[in-house]
Amino acid sequence: MNKTIPRFFIFAGLAVIAASTALVFFSSRDSGIGQLVAKGIAYEATHRSKPNGRVILLGSMHALTANDVLPPNYLTAIQAADEIIFELDPATKNSPDAAKTIARHTAYADGTSWRDHVEESTARQVDAFVAAEGVRLESLKQKRTFMVAQVLSKSRFAKAGFSSRFGVEAQLIGPARQTGKPIGGLETLESQLQVFSSMTEAEEEAVLLKTLGELGTTADFGLRIAQAWREGDIGRLTELTNESIADYPDLAARLFSDRNERIAEILAERAAGNRTLTVIVGSAHLCGKESIVELLRERGFVVKKNGTGLVATTAKSSPR
């Protein structure tokens, strides 16, 4: 059985999707294992011809547990910034049109249910999983099939106490606002949602079926990703990312490489003058040959893991 897509969906859990599915997860709870001070993934980039302009890249996990404590260098990077940039501007979710935009991309305009867009056998598999695991899908009645796949793919995370309420973005937004410095976003709500809503019905159902398949066979579903991030193991994160995108190149391009190109171009343009940009992006965007890290190197940047302006941490493996 192909097991790449569920891990793929865990990696590709955009901030907006993580937030919009949070209410259907199990209640988050303390895992009882004590606080975990993560090492995380951080890079510092400076351009060869503009060395006074600096970009600090912080790898995010959109969902963590109540026990997870951010690396000290993440907070150092927030304090060092002249501007703080998230994938999605935190103010976006409070905009008047946000709910309408989310509904337009995640629900069927004709009022039909995801059940009307999949085979009956697929719906039966979902029902069996939901009954066995206690996942709540009531609020997804009129949602797109990809939203059902998202919720199921994250159900094991939720059982282990993971929630977007404890994710990197959620932990950093308070300190970021306290600095009084400009806060912005790399992408719009519309563009993030289009990554998933542009899938065909066949792609959505295939993703749902593969999610169910891996959930039925992999006990530690998704948790290895979080552990690799905690350990600062970029090598392992890269390995998991490469596994996850191998068999769906078109969807992988929309989720990762296309977005990485746009983000790298934005950062290259804005990394000018005597300014530091601290940028928080999903950790998978910092992994592999088509990562933001490598794309900045191609654009003339010197990129160092845990650069001189950050509190040093030790990772198990390095990207180069």
Query: How long a stretch of residues is the chain?
Result: 320
Q: Does some domain include residue 320?
A: no
d(CA 121, CA 318): 45
Per-residue pLDDT reduced to its tens digit, 34-91: 678 899 999 999 998 877 889 999 999 998 999 999 999 999 999 999 999 999 999 8
Please say if the pLDDT value at position 8 is more than 90: no
Q: Which of 124-128, 161-165, 269-273, 293-297 has the lowest mean pLDDT?
A: 269-273
DSSP string, 179-206: TT--EEEEE-HHHHHHHHHTS-HHHHHH
Domain-embedded: residue 230: yes
pLDDT at 27: 33
pLDDT of residue 310: 58
Provide the pLDDT confidence category of residue 104 given band limits of 50, 70 and 90. Answer: very high
pLDDT at 43: 96
Rounded to the nearest integer, the mean pLDDT of the chain is 82
DSSP string of 143-172?
B-HHHHHHHHHTHHHHHTT-BGGGSHHHHH
| pLDDT value for 254 | 81
Alpha-carbon distance of 236 to 287, in angstroms, equals: 9
Q: What pLDDT does 211 receive?
A: 83
Residue type, 100: K
What does the block give as tokens for 280? 């928080």
Top-confidence residue, 314 or 123: 123
Is residue 318 included in any domain, yes or no? no
Q: Is residue 315 part of a domain?
A: no
Establish if 169 belongs to a structural domain: yes
- Name the amino acid, one letter, at 208: L
50 in any annotated domain: yes
Instruction: Give the residue-averaged pLDDT of 99-111.
Output: 91
Q: Are 318 and 293 in contact (CB under 8 A)?
A: no
pLDDT 10s digits, 266-304? 999 888 778 899 999 999 899 888 899 999 999 999 999
Q: How many C-beta atoms lie closer than 10 Å to residue 269's C-beta?
A: 9
User: What number of H helices and E strands is found in the chain?
Assistant: 15, 8
Q: Please tell me the predicted confidence (pLDDT) of residue 218.
A: 65
Whether the pLDDT of residue 181 is over 70: the answer is yes
1 Cβ contact partners less than 8 Å away, ≥ 6 residues apart: 210, 213, 214, 217
Q: Is the pLDDT score of 18 beyond 90?
A: no
What SS3 class is residue 253?
helix
Phi (first) and psi of residue 209, to 5 degrees:
-65, -40
Q: What total of structural domains would you count in the chain?
A: 1
Confidence of residue 3 (pLDDT cuts 50, 70, 90): very low
Could you tell me the two tokens for 257? 């490489």
| 186 in Cβ contact with 85 (< 8 Å) | yes
Residue 274 lies in a domain: yes
Query: Can you tell me the distance from the alpha carbon of 38 to that of 313, in angstroms, rounded to the nearest whole number?
Result: 10
What CA–CA distance (Å, rounded) separates 197 from 200? Answer: 8
For residue 241, pLDDT over 70 is answered with: yes
Residues 132-145 have pLDDT tens digits of 988 888 888 889 99
What confidence score (pLDDT) does residue 75 get? 96
pTM for this prediction: 0.85
The token duo for 116 is 């009307």
Which DSSP helix (H) or strand (E) runs through 117?
none
The whole domain housing 51 covers: 4-305
- Cα 25 vs. chain centroid, distance in angstroms? 17
pLDDT at residue 22 tops 50: no
Tell me, what's the pLDDT at 72? Answer: 94
Domain contains 291 = yes
